[in-house]
Amino acid sequence: MAVVIRVEKIAKRYQLGQLSRKTFFADWRRKLFGGDEPDDAPGVYWALRDVSFDVEQGQVIGILGRNGAGKSTLLKILSSITSPTRGSIKLKGRIASLLEVGTGFHQELSGRDNVFLNGAILGMTRKEVERKFDEIVAFSGVEQFLDTPVKRYSSGMRVRLAFAVAAHLEAELLMIDEVLAVGDASFQAKCLGKIGEVAGSGRTVLFVSHNAATVESLCNRGIVLQSGKVAFDGKQTDALRFYSEANSVNGSSVGDRRDRTGNGEIRIFKIEIRNSRGNPVCTVSSGSELSVWLHFENYAQRQFGSLNARINVRTQLGIPVFTQSNTVTGQPFGELPKKGAFVCKIPRLPIPAATYRISFQIATSYRHGDLIDAVEDAIEMEVESADYFGTGIVPALAGGTSLVDADWRMERVDG
């Protein structure tokens, strides 16, 4: 396969705060006589550092990384929106990019006019836009508001129209930042289907996303950025595993919490969320397997015949999502060691993307027993969106706090 993108040791530097006279003249001398900016210069932030990789024609690459890792900066450089501080880029083919909602839109112009304007910015001729106009408008779903100024559009309407224009440009290279989260679930599914169609036609796609299910289903390669550097480059499933494990945590220590209640005969000193491979993590995906580990010490060194361990999961606003306990599931613990862990395994996490708080309670029985230990909001759990139902539609928190499996069918009723 031919190489269509070659990135060689690109770096991007930003100056933080006000530029001093000394820094200004140092920059001027460097530009005049050459030389590199020292990495440890005061007030300097490197968004990217010596990033290198090749992209072959037809590859669909997911770019992963935490906020601030350099993902969006990389796409802006590849899209010629900004230039690198050093390094070189070679591109072969026409580029279509969707990096920010409504980039290139004129707020006073109508949606119709902005289709032609945005198409021109992306390199489409007027005849090309006219030929694809009806298809673009139908895909965007904003026909009713086509002659309304874009300034009156919602953010979802703007991103639908912007994506529709970019997706219908016959470009060899398509670059997409994670702006699709603005759209509703049905439009997300339509967009992902279009990206899959573009990828299937042999064109090249670079896709920034935090959605593990999307990266796994659409991409055949993954690049993980950490602190502006390439930390991993390989098969998409291996990249997702690397990214998940790189964001692992050691758990939340609750041993010194003073707001706890209970008689203290058993004390939870650490709480962990572990993924299906048993690694402690702070981020999981909807529908994934996880375990909540409550590490305890049995200070009283006594046995409890009907010990009840319970976790409560709530949203950031305190709305209850679900409660789980070993008594409800009919699974007694048996003999307690001096140290151990109460483990609650959830085979398929039934909640949409959001940040949740987990509290725990340990009591001598389920209803009217003595409270032994309890801490509110012991740990936070970040849940990422995923294709829970396997339909290509990513459920949103706006649809409720739970994801419920169901079977739908139609019945003919006579009479």
Q: How many CB atoms lie within 10 A of CB 147?
A: 10
Do the domain assignments include residue 173? yes
In the structure, what pLDDT confidence band is assigned to residue 415 with cuts at 50, 70 and 90?
low
What pLDDT sits at residue 297?
A: 94
What pLDDT sits at residue 176?
A: 81
Same domain assignment for residues 161 and 306:
no
- Give the domain-ending residue among 198, 215, 246: 246
Same domain assignment for residues 82 and 66:
yes
Q: In sequence order, what DSSP letters do the residues of 321-365 get, joined into one string?
A: EEEEETTTTT----S--SEEEEEEEESS----SEEEEEEEEEESS
Most confident of 47-56, 62-71, 103-112, 218-227: 47-56
Where is average pLDDT lowest: 72-81, 157-166, 191-200? 191-200
Q: Is the pLDDT reported for residue 331 higher than 90?
A: yes
Do the domain assignments include residue 415? no
In the structure, what pLDDT confidence band is assigned to residue 401 with cuts at 50, 70 and 90?
confident
Q: What are the pLDDT digits (tens) for 268-310?
A: 999 999 999 898 888 888 899 999 999 999 998 888 888 999 9
In the structure, what pLDDT confidence band is assigned to residue 339 with cuts at 50, 70 and 90?
very high
What is the mean pLDDT of the segment spanning 313-333? 88
What pLDDT sits at residue 42?
A: 60
How many domains, the chain?
A: 2
In the structure, what pLDDT confidence band is assigned to residue 219 with cuts at 50, 70 and 90?
confident
Same domain assignment for residues 379 and 265:
yes
368-373 CB contacts, 8 Å cutoff, 24+ apart: 369/306, 369/308, 370/263, 371/261, 371/262, 371/263, 372/262, 372/263, 372/264, 372/265, 372/266, 373/260, 373/261, 373/262, 373/264, 373/266, 373/267, 373/268, 373/296
CATH assignment at residue 109 = 3.40.50.300
Do the domain assignments include residue 115? yes
What pLDDT sits at residue 164?
A: 83
Do the domain assignments include residue 404? no
Q: What are the pLDDT digits (tens) for 226-276?
A: 889 999 999 988 888 887 776 655 567 888 888 889 999 999 999 999 999
User: What residue numbers bound the domain in which 371 lies?
Assistant: 252-399
CATH assignment at residue 280 = 2.70.50.60
In the structure, what pLDDT confidence band is assigned to residue 382 with cuts at 50, 70 and 90?
confident
Do the domain assignments include residue 47? yes
pTM above 0.75, yes or no: no
Average pLDDT, the chain: 82
Q: Is the pLDDT reported for residue 102 higher than 90?
A: no
* 215 DSSP assignment: H
Do the domain assignments include residue 213? yes
Do the domain assignments include residue 414? no
Percent of the chain's residues with pLDDT above 70: 83
Same domain assignment for residues 293 and 221:
no
- Give the domain-ending residue among 246, 267, 287: 246
Same domain assignment for residues 121 and 267:
no
Do residues 52 and 233 make contact, with C-beta atoms less than 8 angstroms apart? no
Same domain assignment for residues 193 and 93:
yes
Do the domain assignments include residue 412? no
What pLDDT sits at residue 117?
A: 87
Rg, Å, the chain Cα set: 26
Same domain assignment for residues 281 and 237:
no
Q: What are the pLDDT digits (tens) for 2-40?
A: 899 999 999 998 876 555 555 555 555 655 655 555 555
One-letter amino acid for residue 48 of the chain: L
> What are residue 56's DSSP bridge partners?
3
Same domain assignment for residues 307 and 349:
yes
Give dist(CA 58, CA 62) in Å, integer. Answer: 13
Q: Beta strand 173-176 with 95-98: parallel, antiparallel or unpaired? A: parallel
Same domain assignment for residues 270 and 192:
no
Same domain assignment for residues 278 and 156:
no
- Give the domain-ending residue among 181, 215, 246: 246
Same domain assignment for residues 99 and 234:
yes
Q: Is the pLDDT reported for residue 104 higher than 70?
A: no
Same domain assignment for residues 75 and 178:
yes
Q: Is the pLDDT reported for residue 223 higher than 90?
A: yes
